[in-house]
Structure 1
Amino acid sequence: MFTGIIEAVGTVLGVKAYGKGYELKVDSSLDLSGEKVGDSIAVDGVCLTVTSIDKGVFSVIASQETLSRSTLSLCRPGQKVNIERALRLFDRLGGHIVLGHVDTMGQIKEKTRTGESTGIKVTFDKRFAKYVIEKGSVAIDGISLTINSVEDSVIEVNIIPHTAVSTSLTLKRPGDSVNIEFDILGKYVESLLGHGKDKRLEDLLKKQGMM
């Protein structure tokens, strides 16, 4: 499990075929002395298992399924990626609960500078619209962000200066693809309501003006 608070921007050193997937070698610029083979690490929001570690450099395997759902299929040597190590017990949950299970790829539609911040509009598959609410949370390339507005299958998020310098998202341009993971809490609520067996939760949400 992760928080969506990026620890470092790493550099992809190598990409090679591994069965039907890829093996990625990444320079994280982090002190990985406390990590070990078998630990989880998120690369651009994708939870992967570490297969080797050498100081700040690590390797991971991305399966065919992972490649089909994420931008890791587009990775090339020299590319910058967001890195976050798995949450440890008693760590602070500074962002929101991120599993590292990317739902779909989105596309940057527009970037707008507003003062010192940057507004980014991202299009996504409308099948996932039921998980999106204004002021809710979303992980884009592993970054925990607040949804400022929703219009059909387009969400807008705001990138503050700290996020801009601490992540790789500002390197992306309109037309570029990004990984999207929708809030797991929204998925569970939708699952409960979708089964229609217990109306108490639905009634409560309506009473609170949340539906």
Structure 2
Amino acid sequence: MFTGIVEEMGTIRSIRRGAHSAVLSIGAELILSDLKIGDSVAVNGVCLTATGKDSGGFTADVMHETLDRSSLGALVPGSRVNLERAMAADGRFGGHIVSGHIDGTGTIAALRQDDNAVWYTVKTPVSLLRYIVEKGSVTIDGISLTVADLEPDRFSVSVIPHTAAVTILGQKRAGDIVNLETDIIGKYVEKLLRPEPEAQPQSGITLDFLVQNGF
């Protein structure tokens, strides 16, 4: 479980690609202080498991499903990434409930300066927009943000200078792909309210019944 409060920006040191998978080596500093092999780390909002660690960073495996659903497949050595360790039980909940399980991706459609803030407009499929509400929470590349505006095929967030400076969002431009995780509460509510399909009545005719009756 994460909060969407990015702890530091790391750097992709190397990528070892398989047929449908990859192993990322990620340079980091702050999060290494208590990171152990097996711990969860959100990398651009994607929950990965640390499989190795050295004095300058850690490694993590990325499976086929993750590459298909997220933007991690587009990373190259030198790419900057947002990093957050799993939330400690005694920590402050500064953002919102973030699982690290990406729902899909969006495309930055436009950026607009608004005094000291920058508006980012993200175009994304309707299948994700149904879980995004104005003034609700959304996670963009692992960053907990508030939805400031909502349209039929896109949404917008207003980002303060601090957030842009300490995350990779400040380096994003129109056309860039971002990872999106919608509010987990909305998805659970929809599941609970959706009626279960009625069980189809069974005929009671089995192979044993047919044999016993001469068929």
Q: Tell me which residue corresponds to 1:165.
A: 165
TM normalised by structure 1 equals: 0.90
Cα distance change on mapping 1:68 and 1:31 into 2, 3 Å: closer
Counterpart residue identity of residue 44, structure 2? D
Q: Shift of residue 129 of structure 1?
A: 2.2
Counterpart residue identity of residue 182, structure 2? F
| 3-state SS, counterpart of residue 146 of structure 2 | strand
Q: Tell me which residue corresponds to 1:128.
A: 128
Q: Tell me which residue corresponds to 1:104.
A: 104
Answer with 1 or 2: which has the greater Rg.
2
Counterpart residue identity of residue 39, structure 1? D
| 3-state SS, counterpart of residue 195 of structure 1 | coil
| 3-state SS, counterpart of residue 95 of structure 1 | coil
Cα distance change on mapping 1:54 and 1:29 into 2, 3 Å: same
Where structure 2 has 5 or more consecutive residues not aligned to the other structure, the ranges are 198-215
- What is the aligned-residue RMSD (CA, Å)? 1.4
Q: Tell me which residue corresponds to 1:115.
A: 115
| 3-state SS, counterpart of residue 73 of structure 1 | helix
Q: Tell me which residue corresponds to 2:201.
A: none
1:8-27 superposed matches below 5 A: 8-18=8-18, 20-27=20-27
Q: Shift of residue 166 of structure 1?
A: 0.8
Q: Shift of residue 17 of structure 1?
A: 1.4
1:46-195 superposed matches below 5 A: 46-195=46-195
Q: Tell me which residue corresponds to 2:28.
A: 28
Q: Once structures 1 and 2 are overlaid, which stretch shifts more, 28-37 or 68-77?
A: 28-37
Q: Tell me which residue corresponds to 1:200.
A: none
Counterpart residue identity of residue 4, structure 1? G
Cα distance change on mapping 1:129 and 1:196 into 2, 3 Å: farther
Name the % identity: 46
- 1:144-202, Cα deviation, whole Å (9 max, x unpaired): 000001101201001101101110011111011000000001111121222289xxxxx
| 3-state SS, counterpart of residue 32 of structure 2 | coil
Tell me how far apart the structure 1 counterparts of residues 51 and 84 of structure 2 sit (CA, whole Å). 16
Check whether the contact 1:31–1:55 (CA below 8 A) recurs between aligned residues: no
Check whether the contact 1:131–1:190 (CA below 8 A) recurs between aligned residues: no
- 1:93-149, Cα deviation, whole Å (9 max, x unpaired): 100000000000100000000011100000111112221110000000000000001
| 3-state SS, counterpart of residue 11 of structure 1 | strand
Tell me how far apart the structure 1 counterparts of residues 137 and 151 of structure 2 sit (CA, whole Å). 16
Q: Tell me which residue corresponds to 1:43.
A: 43
Counterpart residue identity of residue 190, structure 1? E
Q: Shift of residue 52 of structure 1?
A: 0.5
| 3-state SS, counterpart of residue 190 of structure 2 | helix
Where structure 1 has 5 or more consecutive residues not aligned to the other structure, the ranges are 198-211
- 1:76-105, Cα deviation, whole Å (9 max, x unpaired): 000010000011111111000000000001
